[in-house]
């Protein structure tokens, strides 16, 4: 727009001119403009983000100068250095740590003091080898963050992958400021492993399906003891459930009305593993199986709403008296904790044994890990980490990136590139979408990749990095990066 009020659409929708006005002032001029979202291909929504820049051209006696709000290499067809405009407060959505080998490892938001979600997302994960990862939004290649620094730095949208090294880490990522860290948390006393089950255990109180590798190693955490129970426990998992088996040797069994005052096993779950202290109603809970109530599973009233029986009413818990004490068995749905299972993922967890011998309530409580505040403080819990099974959960989207080749890559501007796919994976109609680093869709078309290589025309696209997302009619996906020089 010129100071005389002339509006020129240099590039964009054919035949469309935005509404604008100019007013001269004593020290220059002001400009006001209105652009229809539909003409930009944008559906405006609170919490979303668009790329934008404002350029001022100044031609006077001092010469010709160009000033930009954000970019440093601005032309009418180069969007690579534009800034970002948030529509209201940016919505972080679902944040995950991703690469082709491990899929999406979902991070969970920590809680503010008012129990609302913060903009900092956390999780614990063990890398089996060195690998490059990035953070991304809503399990989509459209918006990713990265940086070539490790173990900490500030990630930028479309930035380089983070070179994570082999090890076990507490991962933190701020979706608004991009700050991230990978803090080493080696395996120790506070980490127990649940083993992948090739066949689901039968919840009957017999424990032959479990390796009872763990004890109440933390000792007495409430009451005075002495400890006269011998407790061993183990865990297993599959794509739908996590299972627990507990063997208690106890010479005297008794119980009162309150499950926590009886001979009992207590389980504590920090499903989002944010370890922020508060039991979150959507992810965390306390569960008790005790002498008085038998197979009836007690669940913390203000915790996650977990399923404790199948559709026929058969309990997911079992209390079985034995000649030396009792056994407890429990199974729970992963989805009730908002948790997607896969090898090397972890959730916050601990387990305790309550012993009552004097008919006046619990004499003492012993714990595998934590302290007497396990029931109301997730900061003191340990971790339950998944061992065995797949790196990808069965519920994760699988990507077939190795089945697709883009060439040449990089390419020169306006040259285009070819897409060659494995015909057994991408047979017939495939939807192909190209996104810029801000997550904006710049190309969308359907192609038959069962033929030889197909060409993608990139005429008019600015220099920079782009993500090419393919999805077949069977739902098979691939995401590849193309660079335009």
Residue 395, pLDDT score: 45
**Location of structure tokens 């404790």:** 308
CATH code at position 378: 2.60.40.1190
Q: Is the pLDDT of residue 396 over 60?
A: no
Question: Is there a domain that residue 78 lies in?
Answer: yes
pLDDT tens figures, 362-374: 999 999 999 999 9
pLDDT tens figures, 188-235: 999 999 999 999 999 999 999 999 999 999 999 999 888 999 999 999
**318 in the same domain as 214:** yes
**367 in the same domain as 275:** yes
The residue segments making up the domain with residue 443 are: 401-484
Question: Is there a domain that residue 4 lies in?
Answer: no
Nearest CA to 195 out of 179, 214, 178 is that of 214
**166 in the same domain as 103:** yes
Residue 164, pLDDT score: 97
**365 in the same domain as 295:** yes
In total, the chain counts a number of residues equal to: 485
Q: Is the pLDDT of residue 88 over 70?
A: no
Share of the chain above pLDDT 90, in %: 53
Number of domains in the chain: 4
Q: Is the pLDDT of residue 7 over 60?
A: yes
DSSP type of residue 40: H
Question: Is there a domain that residue 285 lies in?
Answer: yes
**105 in the same domain as 59:** no
**121 in the same domain as 70:** no
> For the residues 276-282, what does the mean pLDDT come to?
88
Question: Is there a domain that residue 1 lies in?
Answer: no
- Where b means 16+ CB within 10 Å and e means fewer, 168-203 reads bbbbbbbbeebebebeebeeeebbbbbbbbeeebeb
**236 in the same domain as 284:** yes
Share of the chain above pLDDT 70, in %: 88
């Amino acid at each position: 727009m010129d100071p005389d009020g002339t509006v020129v659409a240099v590039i964009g929708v054919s035949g469309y001119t935005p509404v604008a006005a100019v007013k001269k002032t004593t020290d220059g001029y002001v400009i006001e403009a209105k652009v229809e979202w539909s003409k930009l291909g944008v559906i405006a929504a609170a919490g979303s983000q668009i790329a934008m820049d404002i350029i001022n051209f100044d031609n006077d006696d001092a010469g010709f100068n160009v000033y930009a709000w954000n970019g440093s290499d601005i032309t009418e067809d180069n969007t690579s250095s534009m800034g970002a405009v948030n529509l209201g407060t940016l919505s972080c959505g679902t944040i995950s740590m991703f690469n082709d080998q491990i899929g999406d490892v979902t991070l969970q938001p920590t809680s503010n003091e008012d129990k609302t979600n913060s903009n900092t997302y956390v999780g614990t994960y063990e890398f089996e080898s060195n690998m490059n990862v990035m953070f991304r939004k809503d399990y989509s290649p459209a918006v990713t963050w990265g940086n070539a620094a490790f173990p900490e730095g500030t990630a930028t949208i479309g930035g380089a992958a983070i070179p994570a090294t082999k090890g076990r880490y507490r991962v933190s990522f701020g979706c608004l400021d991009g700050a991230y860290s990978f803090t080493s948390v080696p395996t120790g006393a506070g980490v127990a492993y649940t083993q992948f089950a090739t066949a689901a255990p039968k919840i009957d109180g017999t424990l032959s399906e479990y390796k009872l590798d763990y004890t109440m190693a933390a000792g007495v955490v409430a009451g005075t003891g002495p400890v006269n129970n011998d407790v061993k426990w183990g865990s297993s998992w599959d794509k739908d459930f996590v299972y627990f088996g507990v063997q208690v040797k106890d010479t005297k069994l008794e119980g009162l009305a309150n499950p926590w005052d009886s001979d009992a096993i207590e389980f504590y779950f920090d499903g989002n593993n944010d370890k922020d202290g508060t039991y979150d109603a959507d992810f965390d809970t306390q569960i008790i199986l005790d002498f008085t109530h038998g197979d009836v599973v007690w669940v913390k009233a203000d915790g996650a709403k977990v399923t404790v029986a199948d559709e026929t009413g058969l309990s997911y818990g079992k209390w079985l008296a034995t000649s030396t004490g009792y056994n407890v068995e429990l199974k729970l749905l992963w989805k009730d904790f908002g948790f997607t299972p896969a090898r090397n993922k972890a959730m916050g967890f601990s387990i305790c044994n309550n012993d009552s011998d004097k008919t006046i309530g619990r004499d003492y409580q012993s714990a595998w890990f934590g302290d007497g505040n396990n029931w109301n403080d997730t900061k003191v819990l340990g971790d339950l980490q998944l061992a065995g099974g797949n790196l990808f959960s069965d519920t994760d989207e699988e990507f077939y990136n190795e089945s697709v080749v883009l060439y040449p890559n990089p390419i020169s501007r306006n040259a285009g590139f070819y897409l060659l796919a494995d015909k057994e994976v991408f047979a017939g109609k495939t939807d192909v979408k190209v996104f810029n680093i801000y997550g904006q869709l710049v190309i969308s078309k359907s192609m038959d990749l069962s033929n030889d290589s197909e060409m993608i025309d990139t005429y008019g696209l600015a220099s920079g990095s782009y993500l090419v997302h393919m999805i077949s009619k069977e739902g098979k996906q691939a995401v590849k990066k193309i660079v335009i020089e």
